Amino acid sequence: MGFSTTHLIIFLVIIIVIFGTKKLRNIGSDLGGAVKGFKDGMKDGTDKTADAPAAPTQQVGSASATAKETIDVEAKTKA
């Protein structure tokens, strides 16, 4: 049991009568803008990961500071 062409035409006429053409045009443009924004966001997200370096770099001066703050969990559990 599927929809025929006449069912779809009747459905579209009812939708146009309820909402009007101006409101449907606004809904269509808002939906198109949302899809475009989503696509741009997805494209920007992939560009940022491709430009990022593979390994993080560390400054020489901050290496000693981070070494003091790190905790060796395996050494604590072995003792």
For residue 47, give the nearest of 39, 36, 55 by alpha carbon.
39
State both tokens at 63. Answer: 């290496």
Q: Which two tokens stand for residue 79?
A: 């003792």
Tally Cβ neighbours within 10 Å of residue 24: 14
**pLDDT on residue 57:** 54
CA pair distance 26, 36, nearest whole angstrom = 15
Q: Each residue of 31-78: pLDDT tens digit?
A: 999 999 999 988 877 655 455 555 555 555 555 555 567 776 676 666
Distance set, CA 23 to CA 6, 31, 45 (Å): 24, 12, 33
Report the pLDDT value the prediction gives residue 30, as an integer from 0 to 100: 92
Residue 65 structure tokens: 């500071």
pTM recorded for the entire structure: 0.40
Identify the residue with better confidence: 61 or 22: 22
